[in-house]
Amino acid sequence: MAKVTFREERCKGCGLCIQVCPKKIIRENQEKLNAKGYFPAEVVDMDKCIGCAFCATICPDCVITVEK
């Protein structure tokens, strides 16, 4: 199973990773604000992740790391 981690403090909430995920398992965590004042992205259902790394590739701020 793939593992996706977010350096949350760097996320600017642009939503690109949310749009590009083919499994639609990324969302904004609206229960938490990061130091920049944004809702950071997170994976809600890691079991469904296929490890494609589209999210990591599209992120302009290098927030996301995908490990297979």
List residues binding ligand SF4 (CB under 6 A).
Answer: 2, 4, 6, 11-17, 21-23, 25-26, 41, 43, 49-55, 58-59, 61, 63-64, 66
Residues in the chain, overall count: 68
C-alpha closest to that of 64 among 1, 8, 19:
8
Compare residues 37 and 59 and give the one whose CB is closer to ligand SF4: 59
Beta-carbon contacts of residue 49 (< 8 Å; ≥ 6 apart): 1, 2, 3, 4, 23, 25, 43
**Smallest separation (angstroms) from ligand SF4 to the CB of 7:** 8
Report the residue number, 26 or 32, with the smaller CB distance to ligand SF4.
26
